[in-house]
């Protein structure tokens, strides 16, 4: 088994992949797009990709790639995100902090309180931030304990996230759709026709057939300006008659529709 993840090594995606697939060969990719393309091309069997953070919201590039690529969600995993402050420099000498955009967003209050004058430099991952901090004097990183061990950095402060219940939802991507039997969650994406009440008409079927919609979010379709797609998570799977009936009726109001898969949460 080969498992891809959003690199570089020691990223939160690497940590999630290690927890889900502890004994499988792993390969880092430089972007979410490349990690998902590798699944589509059968270069890896699965890729572990972040899709949503409990405080920062959805990872929009993941949503876009799920639409464009011929892949499916096979499972999901929640990873607690416990950001730490890493550096081999003295605290009072640090004038530059590296992190991912989500890292900065999730530690905004801590940064403003502790390092209001520091230069904040956004990089593609928290593990890259740790690497740069290791290489540069008087710099620090907001990253994970996993990264601290990988890059031999000192943890200057733990649990610096503004929310102490911060989690990231990762999805395992496959190029084959799961058998839905026994799965407890289904994700879909659809676009509606351009007319008044179109979205209401489409999702009304969930109420009529007793389907619990746990999330809905819109994204630009990227095909036409000001045209949107809607991502929806549902309780249950497509072997259930009420979900099948609701989705059949919903599609009568749609111009685009894709079932992203029925799946369950991995527990480690």
Active site residues: 168, 170
The two tokens of residue 120 are: 């904040």
Chain-centre distance of CA 186, in angstroms?
16
**How far apart (Å, rounded) are the C-alpha atoms in residues 73 and 173?**
5
In which region does residue 197 sit, left (phi positive, over 0), alpha (psi from -120 to 50) or beta (all else)? left
Q: How far is Cα 162 from Cα 145, in angstroms, rounded to an integer?
A: 17
Q: Phi and psi at residue 17, in whole multiples of 5°?
A: -60, -40
How far apart are the C-alpha atoms of 251 and 190, rounded to whole Å? Answer: 8
The span from the CA of 91 to the CA of 93, in Å, is: 6
- Say how far apart CA 156 and CA 150 lie, in whole Å: 16
Q: Which residues have a Cβ under 8 Å from the Cβ of 29 and sit 6 or more positions away?
A: 4, 5, 6, 7, 35, 38, 47
What span, in angstroms and rounded, lies between the C-alpha atoms of 27 and 37?
Answer: 13
> Which residue bears the tokens 């876009």?
64
């Amino acid at each position: 088994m080969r498992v891809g993840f959003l690199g570089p090594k020691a990223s939160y995606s690497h940590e999630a992949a290690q927890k889900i697939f502890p004994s499988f060969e792993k390969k880092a990719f430089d972007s979410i797009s490349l990690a998902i393309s590798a699944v589509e091309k059968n270069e890896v069997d699965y890729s572990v990709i972040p899709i949503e953070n409990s405080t920062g919201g959805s990872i929009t590039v993941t949503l876009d790639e799920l639409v464009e690529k011929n892949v499916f969600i096979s499972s999901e995993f929640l990873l607690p995100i416990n950001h730490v402050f890493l550096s081999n420099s003295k605290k009072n000498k640090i004038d530059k902090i590296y992190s991912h955009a989500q890292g900065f967003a999730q530690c905004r209050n801590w940064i403003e309180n502790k390092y209001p004058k520091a230069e904040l430099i956004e990089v593609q991952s928290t593990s890259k931030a740790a690497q740069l901090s290791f290489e540069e004097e008087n710099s620090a990183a907001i990253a994970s304990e996993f990264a601290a061990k990988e890059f031999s950095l000192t943890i200057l402060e733990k649990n610096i996230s503004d929310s102490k219940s911060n989690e990231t939802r990762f999805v395992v991507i496959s190029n084959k759709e799961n058998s839905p039997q026994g799965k407890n969650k289904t994700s879909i994406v659809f676009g509606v026709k351009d007319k008044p009440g179109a979205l209401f008409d489409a999702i009304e079927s969930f109420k009529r057939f007793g389907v619990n919609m746990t999330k809905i979010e819109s994204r630009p379709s990227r095909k036409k300006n000001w045209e949107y797609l809607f991502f929806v998570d549902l309780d249950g799977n497509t072997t259930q008659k009420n979900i099948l009936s609701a989705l059949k009726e919903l599609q009568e109001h749609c111009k685009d529709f894709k079932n992203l898969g029925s799946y369950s949460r991995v527990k480690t």
